[in-house]
Structure 1
Amino acid sequence: MSETTDTSTAPAEPAAEATAEEGGRNANRSTTPTSDGFREYIGSGWAERDEALPAARESAAYAAERRSRLSAEFPGMRLIVPAGDLKQRANDTDYPFRAHSAFAYLTGWGSDSEPGAVLVLEPEGGEGHLATLYFRERAGRDTEEFYANPAIGEFWIGPRPSLAHVAADLGVGTRDLGEFDAIVERVDTATMVVREADAALTEKVDHARIRFAAERALSTNAQDAPFSLEVGTDHEPDADLARVLSEHRLVKDAYEIAELRAAIAATARGFGEVLRELPRITGEVRGERVIEGVFATRARLDGNDVGYGSIAAAGPHATILHWTRNDGPVAPGDLVLLDAGVEADSYYTADITRTFPVNGTYSDVQRLVYEAVREAADAAFAIVRPGTVFREVHAAAMAVIARKTAEWGFLPVSAEESLEPDKQYHRRYMVHGTSHHLGLDVHDCAQARRELYLDGVIEAGMVFTIEPGLYFQPDDLTVPAEFRGIGVRIEDDILVTADGAENLSAAIPRTADEVEAWVRGAGR
């Protein structure tokens, strides 16, 4: 039963007042019983809960270390990191909840985290912070929330954890979310918030900071307060917090690397299962949807969900870089570009692409394009080691792409000329970058400074993709007809080691011969 289904067998009673969480969206059709007799009856006769506290989960110690590093960056500052809340999909239905990545990073709380939770790092004296996790405490079975609130009531969404349970599980102090209002009352100019995580909470913090600045200006008779902020602006100190959190995530710890390995292994299983379903896939009018669904099933079985909208692009759809409609047919003779990743329950995600022939054999032109892309990927991988500048990985792949497209006669100049900054003709056939960092977000660490990302020096423990491609649009008259409509991308997830790099997704077939054998063996 969905939370929107009207239970026709419920006693006909006056509609209960809609809760704040529901926003009155369903008040006119509520049949929730309200009699005193019903309240007394539904609140009694329940077995005792098992209140045994868990041992701290594996991620707890790593999260504590991350909080300690963050604390050292912002002495004396109050740091507010929201998980975010449910987001409306339509009327009284919401999207599945996913906590903000910064919140997950600092708490170790992933797919089982509570909507509306907030982590607060409160400065303690001269140095250090006290971490407290605020979330909505579960209601007793003697309360109306238990049975009458479809947003958070346990009768509707299942058991919710107690404060004590979460404190033991995550190794951090906990308080009821209702007490967070006291934090807002103490907000001052030494308060920072992860702005994008929860718009409503950020607005509260902004108003509190404005109020504090105004009161201080009045108390000192100052003409202009030393702190000003317009509600909704990207306040610079908050941007600093987001930047530091992104930069801290550039190098992964042992827990993060293990989670990424698990997500990649699950993704490999999902790819194999897609190949085993090829007969059904090619038999459907919208076979791309079957690919998407088969992979999504594996993602839900082995993890939280897919890490991003899967790209299941057959035939000419493979030339569309972010094809996520996935509503086309899959026919023998086509190439399928499958770009997908399983997101683990910890939220760490894989991001892998393979391009395979539906009938198990590349045509001569398809093979030519495919092996050119693989050569570009291999050239990029070959230079990855600590000390390499990140942008050089892209340059290594582009040198191959320029050379191949020049050899085929597609460029108006030589490969060397095309590689000059003011030319770049070869980029017509690959306009995207070759690499991005990977972790809690598929495009991880996006708010890091350019000098630490694109212009940064690669370090051991970094994880990023290598994903060159070639895309010849169906109507591109700069290439021969036999190339038009072919799109190929090969994407792997790379771990930088102390003396080189490891391709974490190398177990998934990569060469043209390997992929053909893989398809013919139905993904085994």
Structure 2
Amino acid sequence: MSEEQTKPENRARPTTDEFRAFVAEDWAPRSTETPGLTEAARRAAERREALSAAFEGDRLVIPAGGLKVRSNDSDYVFRPHTAFAYLTGLGADREPDAVLVMEPREGGGHESVLYFRPLAGRDTEEFFGDSRYGEFWVGARPTIEDVESELGLTGAHVDGFNDAVGKDAGEVAVRMIRDAEAALTARVDEIRANNGAAIESLAERDDVLAHHVSHMRIVKDDWEIEQMQQAVDATRVGFDAVIAELPTVVERGRGERWVEGVFGLHARHQGNGVGYDSICAAGDHANTLHWIKNTGDIAPDELLLLDAGVEVDSLFTADVTRTLPISGTFTDAQREIYDAVYEAQQAGFAAIRPGAKFSDIHAASIRVIAEKLHGWGLLPEGVSVEDTLDAEHGQYHRRWMVHGTSHHLGLDVHDCALATRAEYMDAELRPGMVLTVEPGLYFKADDLKAPERFRGIGVRIEDDVVVTEDGCRNLTGDWPHSADEVEAWIREVQSR
């Protein structure tokens, strides 16, 4: 058996010269019209200008990331690295393997060059024979001219990247976003080391860039806030669709999967898809905070905790939670817990204003939670509300509310994650910050410290807000919030 016959290749490939000549013939001319500069690209150019000023003289490398194999010979749907999307304006599934290089100019500033894989000619084997990149298989890619017109930067073939990043690498400091693609990072590290860079210093140097780009996103501009409003509005469509299906989910079996599918259908139709794996947790599953298995049946007397958000094509996402009675009406115990969480959320909203600390939101909400738990007699004997709020010797309330009440939201569902504690938890709120407010109470079915009437009930209410000059604006402001409003919402949707 020949070496060719033993290669792991089982797809028939047309390889004759006659076929190559035949397949290249008689195609209609391609359109020469190029896309115009997008609003996302305009905003990205402003961000690059700010980044350029912070890293004068350094070569900055921001990869999109590569495709990841799923099921042997197909790929997962691609999503570019957040830093790449933020600094190019490309969203959805664009452009795998691309790398943005900000090249320092003599005299100051940077030239932005996007190295990517452009459209191949119809006379190339890629056109018909490459199942990962070929036009026959995955559709036409943009040309260099398309990218330059759409993004307002310089386009170049990805094959030129190695030479570009290595040029004068011993004299020019090169920084890159390391976590976008491990293989590319290793390659750039090797290039830098071969040009005299100290290998042990590379990660620390790169971390400074990654932190800076993450922290840049902490205040959103008007266009970004509008994108997030669109994401919230699209999410409402998905929630309404789920509510319309509640009367059917009990009999279907695996009702959590049905809920996940219904929301996912509308997320994909309204935007790019879901911004994170949806939590569709019925009954006691709601007490597993990150329940994304969604394999459970749904009973008619249970609550459904639905934590889901639509990611729009620009990759900004919503993050909303509502806890819905399957029957359309809360039981007395369910309402008692829901009302406590609702009151805690209202306290969180009231704490949001410029100059307040980010941590004040949690402090306000968790005080209400502690007061409710104390009133129910669930804290240890002799422990007051102040005692349990003591960070060093208390925290008993966290048995039933273990997570934080708020996080930044944007291109990532937990945005700005590389910001330091001083820049995040201890920072002052500023207009343009977009945050979640999401207290909850969780009473596991096997929690013998919980009242029997509460066991198996979990409730969370989550909204997305933007800090304003005098407080905050709730992007989910017209959504139902209180128990009465939720019941009315269910009746209204199901009567359509």
Normalised TM-score (structure 2): 0.96
- Residues 234, 399 of structure 1: CA spacing in aligned structure 2 closer, same or farther, 3 A cutoff? farther
- Residues 283, 127 of structure 1: CA spacing in aligned structure 2 closer, same or farther, 3 A cutoff? same
Q: How does 1:331-370 map to 2 (within 5 A)?
A: 331-370=299-338
Moved more, 281-290 or 358-367: 281-290
Gaps of 5+ in 1: 1-13, 19-23, 214-226
Q: How does 1:134-283 map to 2 (within 5 A)?
A: 134-186=115-167, 187-188=169-170, 190-213=173-196, 227-230=197-200, 235-283=203-251
TM-fit CA distance, 1:184? 3.1
Deviations 1:234-276 (A, max 9, x none): 7111110011001100000111111100000000010000011
Distance 1:107 1:73 in 2: 17
Identity %: 52
Residue identity opposite 2:175 in structure 1: M
Deviations 1:280-328 (A, max 9, x none): 3222210000000000011110111100000000010011100000000
8 Å contact kept, 2:127–2:135: yes
Which of 380, 383, 389 does residue 419 from structure 1 map onto? 389
Q: Which residue of 1 aligns with 2:15?
A: 34
Distance 2:428 2:360 in 1: 10
Q: Which residue of 1 aligns with 2:24?
A: 43
Question: Superposition RMSD on alpha carbons, in Å?
Answer: 1.7
Residue identity opposite 2:362 in structure 1: H
Give 3-state SS (helix, strand or coil) of 2:199's partner: coil
8 Å contact kept, 1:192–1:237: yes
Deviations 1:137-191 (A, max 9, x none): 1111111111110000000001111110111011111111111121232234600
8 Å contact kept, 2:63–2:84: yes
Distance 2:69 2:94 in 1: 18
Q: Which residue of 2 aligns with 1:9?
A: none
8 Å contact kept, 1:76–1:126: no
Indicate whether 1:474 and 2:445 are aligned.
yes
Residue identity opposite 1:170 in structure 2: L
Deviations 1:473-516 (A, max 9, x none): 11111111110000000000010011110110122211100101
Distance 2:215 2:162 in 1: 30
Distance 1:375 1:198 in 2: 44
Give 3-state SS (helix, strand or coil) of 1:145's partner: helix
Distance 2:70 2:13 in 1: 23
Distance 1:282 1:377 in 2: 30
Distance 1:237 1:121 in 2: 16
8 Å contact kept, 1:16–1:32: no
TM-fit CA distance, 1:375? 0.6
Q: Which residue of 1 aligns with 2:94?
A: 113
Q: How does 1:292-441 map to 2 (within 5 A)?
A: 292-412=260-380, 413-421=383-391, 422-441=393-412
Give 3-state SS (helix, strand or coil) of 1:71's partner: helix
8 Å contact kept, 1:288–1:326: yes
Q: Which residue of 2 aligns with 1:89?
A: 70
Give 3-state SS (helix, strand or coil) of 1:336's partner: strand
Distance 1:172 1:450 in 2: 35
Residue identity opposite 1:521 in structure 2: E
Q: Which residue of 2 aligns with 1:492?
A: 463
Distance 1:279 1:463 in 2: 35
Distance 2:232 2:199 in 1: 43
Q: Which residue of 1 aligns with 2:486?
A: 515
Residue identity opposite 1:127 in structure 2: G
Distance 2:227 2:370 in 1: 36
Q: Which residue of 1 aligns with 2:252?
A: 284
Q: Which residue of 2 aligns with 1:449?
A: 420
Moved more, 273-282 or 164-173: 273-282
**Runs of 4+ with >6 A deviation:** 14-18
8 Å contact kept, 2:328–2:490: yes
TM-fit CA distance, 1:15? 12
8 Å contact kept, 1:15–1:28: no
Q: Which residue of 2 aligns with 1:8?
A: none
Which of 53, 64, 84 does residue 103 from structure 1 map onto? 84
TM-fit CA distance, 1:93? 2.1
8 Å contact kept, 1:15–1:32: no
8 Å contact kept, 2:341–2:461: yes
Give 3-state SS (helix, strand or coil) of 1:522's partner: helix
TM-fit CA distance, 1:17? 11
Give 3-state SS (helix, strand or coil) of 1:72's partner: helix
Give 3-state SS (helix, strand or coil) of 1:355's partner: strand
Distance 1:483 1:273 in 2: 29
8 Å contact kept, 2:80–2:93: no
Q: Which residue of 1 aligns with 2:105?
A: 124
TM-fit CA distance, 1:16? 9.7
TM-fit CA distance, 1:87? 1.1
Q: Which residue of 2 aligns with 1:222?
A: none
Gaps of 5+ in 2: none
Distance 2:69 2:345 in 1: 40
